[in-house]
Amino acid sequence: MSELISGIQQVGIGVRNAQEAFSWYNKTLGLNVPLFDDVAEATLMTRYTKGNIRQRRAILALNMAGGGGAEIWQSNRPEPLAADFEPQIGDLGIFAVKIKCSDVKQFAGSQKISTTQSPEGKPTAWLKDSYGNQLQIVQDDSWFKPKESITGGVLGVIIGVSDIDKALKLYRDVLEINELAYDKTGTFEDLKELNADKKQFRRVLLKKSMNNTGAFSRLLGNVEIELVQALEGTTNTIFEGRSWGDLGFIHVCFDTLDMNILKEKCAKSGFPFTVDSNDNGETFDMGEAGGRFTYLEDPDGTLIEFVETHRVPILKKIGWYLNLKKRKTQKPLPDWMVSTMGWGKVKA
C-alpha cells in the first residue's frame, strides 16, 4: 500500500468549556455534527500528562461540507493550564488551524474581518475562536457536500519548527504530504494581521490532494501542512511546561490506513511511536468510537496522532455503528453511507 494516511481526521483543541466551544464552532464555521460526545479517562497518555490520568470530555465536531473535525477537548481533572504567553507565529508547535472555505471574501465580510493574499496568491483571512485560538481561513476546492456551508472543517495546520529541513523528513518524506506549494524566505504581507509582517521567516507549504484511498477520504478532502521557521528573534515552545490536554492546539490527527506499516516506516525514519493503544489488532474503546491510536513527536516535540478507525457511531440511540475493522478494501465508503454521520446535526 502506497498511501498510509488519507487525510486529517481532527485537531485536538483544549478549551475550558466544551459545550460553549462547540456552540461557537457550530454557529461560526458550520461544525455542527457531534460525531461523539463522551467523558473518559486518558489512561494511556500519562507519558504526556506528568504521570496523571487525565479525565476529559471530548466532542468531535464535523462539518459535512467536508474536511477534518475539531476534537473539542475539556479537561475535567486536572484543571487545564493556559500558556503564560500569547503564542506567536514561528513559536514551536501548532500555531493555527487552517479552515477550508469556498469563498474567503464572502466569509470574511460576514465576520467583519479583513482578507489578504497568501504567499500562494490565494485569498486568506485570520480569525480567533471564542477562546483565542488562532484560525486561518483558506480557499479550497475539495468538498463532500458543498451546499452545506461556505466553510468546511479542518484543511490543515500551521506548525512552528526550529529547522524546516529536519521537519520535512517527517511531514514530507514519511507522511508523504509532498506536494510543494511554496518554499519562501523573507517578510510576508499576509502576516500583517498577526503583527509579524516585518519579521523574517522561512515558510514551506506542503499539500496532499484528496484521492480515492480510505473509507472517509472523500469527506476529509485535501491536506495542507505549513511549516514556519522564525529567522530572527526568540521563539517559545507553545506547550512548554504544560501537558497534553491543556488549553490550545493539543495535536493534529491523521486518518490512518495501515498502522503496522506506518509504525515500521516511522521507526526506521527516526520517529518511533511513543504511544500505541494496541499493536495486536484489537480495538481500543474510545467511548462511542473505537480503533487504534498512536502518537509520535516531530523534531520539536509537537504531538502527531494517528487513528486507524474500526467503529464509528451513526445512530447511538438504536446502537447503529459503522464497523470498518473487517472491511477488506481501502476504497471510499459510498457517499450515502458517509452522509449518515450527519444525521446527528445540531442546529446553531
Alpha carbon distance 268, 11 (integer Å) = 26
Full pLDDT tens readout for the chain, 348 residues: 468 999 999 999 999 999 999 999 999 999 999 999 999 999 999 999 999 999 999 999 999 999 999 999 999 999 999 999 999 999 999 999 999 999 999 999 999 999 999 999 999 999 999 999 999 999 999 999 999 999 999 999 999 999 999 999 999 999 999 999 999 999 999 999 999 999 999 999 999 999 989 999 999 999 999 999 999 999 999 999 999 999 999 999 999 999 999 999 999 999 999 999 986 655 556 556 678 999 999 999 999 999 998 877 665 554 567 777 777 778 998 999 899 889 889 998
| pLDDT number for residue 109 | 97
Which residue range forms the structural domain that includes residue 199?
5-340
The number of residues making up the chain comes to 348
Q: Is there a domain that residue 267 lies in?
A: yes
Burial class from Cβ neighbours inside 10 Å (0-12, 13-18, 19+) for residue 104 reads buried
Q: Is there a domain that residue 348 lies in?
A: no
Q: Is there a domain that residue 347 lies in?
A: no
Q: What domain count does the chain have?
A: 1
Q: Is there a domain that residue 14 lies in?
A: yes
Q: How far from the centroid of its chain's Cα atoms is residue 257's Cα?
A: 17
| pLDDT number for residue 1 | 44
Q: Is there a domain that residue 272 lies in?
A: yes
Torsion of CA 14, 218, 345, 283, to 10 degrees: -60
Q: Is there a domain that residue 297 lies in?
A: yes
CATH number of residue 253's parent domain? 3.10.180.10
| pLDDT number for residue 314 | 61
Q: Is there a domain that residue 305 lies in?
A: yes
Q: Is there a domain that residue 266 lies in?
A: yes
| pLDDT number for residue 309 | 86
CB atoms within 10 A of CB 75: 25
Burial profile 8-41: b = 16 or more Cβ within 10 angstroms, e = fewer: bbbbbbbbeebeebbbbbbebbbbbbbbbbeeee
Query: How, if at all, do strands 5-15 and 248-256 pair?
Result: antiparallel
Alpha carbon distance 333, 237 (integer Å) = 39
